[in-house]
Chains A and B, each alone.
Chain A
């Protein structure tokens, strides 16, 4: 039996459930020579903010046991340069493109989305994607590495609901709200995003972490703390997806430490409808494509027709 890998996020159909996580794949061109990007289901771009951001001081990354800690600080060229320099390349993509949007204030998030909507126009009702360049938005309410916005927004459910609703009024494209695990109850935050009109939630963003360089008696990262990613956080991500998917009706997109198909299947069994590969791409640029092939093989071996069937198999 041939498995049907298509999944829906809002009114958008993705060719398959495997996406490339924001901040790990740039705007698509960086890995062009190594990976057939159009084979994945979705690309989640590096975050875009209203004004350009240089990012945090260096060092920005350090390796940790089965993981890495980063404090990039949302370095990006800003909306103006994004529309001018990055959007043309995204228009050629055949996979779905979610622009990851970040900001320091609620107004900044709204303005970034408005600027993009103005540039790309209304989505086609026929579902024709190629040539537009933007298929949806991932709202980054959970970056641990900026002093304003980011994580501070991601832990406030009233604010999440209000901001999601305001964004909902400004676009017909799917809105994915990216959640932080740095909260007491992720289910409550997921519900707030759903109440605001989000089409999906993605979880998890990185966990706040710190490494101290004993010889230098100072933090290994210039910013002090950073966001932990990689296989080390996978069990946290799977648990968050499990909780979130039982709290909301909208799809949950799972990420955190996916290195191979089995890891992605853990998320799908725990309740995620789709997944993203992030740090795994740094280790092996073809990680997402290998995971995709493994999911297909596993589904066919299990006699499963649809991605939705996977979550039903979890025995508790």
Chain B
């Protein structure tokens, strides 16, 4: 974990309200893992005040003349992300990273199934890339992307075989990634990997529980510090014994440890 000034290398439009941010990476912070995140100070003023967490969607170590880079996919949702969308390449931004715990590797015999809802796609793209690199001879992992409609389909290269699911049926499968997996799950032991909106995560957790699968889900919660000090990003434990912190206990949790349904 390190705080550094990152160069903004790209901040490109990839769908109507989606952007892909590419930043220079300080190697001395260590290599980020899929599921980990960085926190950015979006504005030097006090409004918006708090830093914003973003999951890595990729990491490229330095090669030849170019330095190492990380990327994150984000959606313009409020004042902070609106400001972020205006940041031009060539400017700099205060980053703290890498933060949190990443996705675990699939256990031997487990078939990974990756589901990203909206910009929750980001960390799963990173994971898919890593799983493919780790086993180049094997079939690439199955990746699903859930979006509201075809208009949200991002103009980035998705891994071959990516299943696009739309809420309105305007592209690919008519339904959610949870619906698709429930009908078309591969045989054998599956490990679900998911990141996306609350209903999708609770749907994946319920499906995993019903089928007896393992599931590693990345949670989203409002954060103040991002390093485990403030206790703000708490998530209720499923056993009723208090809370876990999204920032340092997660953001990736074994699905059965969290009560995904509570607000």
Contacts and interface: CB of A to CB of B under 8 A. Distances in A.
Contact of B234 (A46, A55, A65, A259): A55
A60 B221 CA distance: 10
Say which size band chain A's interface belongs to.
35 or more
Given A55-B243, A61-B230, A75-B231, A283 B49 contact: yes
Contacts of B229: 24-26, 30-31, 46, 281
A63 B50 contact: yes
B112 to A, nearest CB: 29
Interface stretch (B40-48, B84-92, B126-134, B181-189): B40-48
Contacts of B262: 57-58
A282 B224 contact: yes
A34 B230 contact: no
Interface string A256-280: 0001000000000000000000010
Given A75-B243, A283-B41, A60 B231 contact: yes
Interface in A62-85: 62-63, 65-68, 70, 72, 75
A285 B230 CA distance: 12
A59 B229 CA distance: 16
Contact of B236 (A57, A65, A286): A57
Contacts of B51: 282-283
B263 A59 contact: yes
A259 B46 CA distance: 9
Interface in B203-235: 221-235
A294 interface: no
A66 B2 contact: no
Contacts of A128: none
Contacts of A222: 263
Interface string B64-81: 000000000000000000
B230 A33 contact: no
Given A58-B234, A59-B263, A283-B50, A34 B225 contact: no
A34 B98 CA distance: 12
A72 B47 contact: no
A70 B242 contact: no
B165 to A, nearest CB: 25
A60 B230 CA distance: 10
A284 interface: yes
Interface centre among B49, B94, B222, B225 (most CB of A within 10 A): B49
Given A54-B242, A58-B243, A72 B49 contact: no
A230 interface: yes
A123 interface: no
A26 B46 contact: no
A23 interface: yes
B224 A286 contact: no
Interface in B47-67: 47-51
B12 interface: no
Nearest to A221: B222
Nearest to B235: A58
A55 B227 contact: no
Nearest to B248: A30
Nearest to B237: A54
Nearest to B51: A283
A222 B50 CA distance: 20
Interface string B103-131: 00000000000000000000000000000
A139 B3 CA distance: 33
A34 B227 contact: yes
B2 A68 contact: no
A83 B263 CA distance: 34
Contact of A31 (B47, B227, B236): B227
A259 B235 CA distance: 29
B46 A230 contact: yes
A68 B231 contact: no
Contacts of B49: 63, 66-68, 230-231, 279, 283
B145 interface: no
Nearest to A35: B3
Contacts of B223: 61
A26 B243 contact: no
B33 interface: no
A285 B3 contact: yes
Contacts of B228: 26, 30
A205 B79 CA distance: 27
B61 to A, nearest CB: 21
A160 B18 CA distance: 54
A282 B47 contact: no
Contacts of B96: 34, 285
Q: Which 9 A-B pairs have the closest CB atoms?
A: A54-B242, A61-B232, A26-B229, A30-B229, A66-B46, A231-B46, A282-B224, A33-B1, A75-B231
6 contacts: A58-B221, A58-B262, A61-B232, A62-B222, A70-B232, A283-B46
Given A59-B221, A61-B223, A75-B231, 19 more contacts: A24-B229, A34-B2, A54-B242, A55-B243, A58-B234, A60-B222, A60-B232, A60-B233, A61-B222, A61-B230, A63-B222, A67-B49, A68-B224, A72-B230, A222-B263, A230-B49, A259-B46, A279-B49, A285-B227
Interface of A: 23-26, 30-31, 33-34, 46, 54-55, 57-63, 65-68, 70, 72, 75, 222, 230-231, 259, 279, 281-286
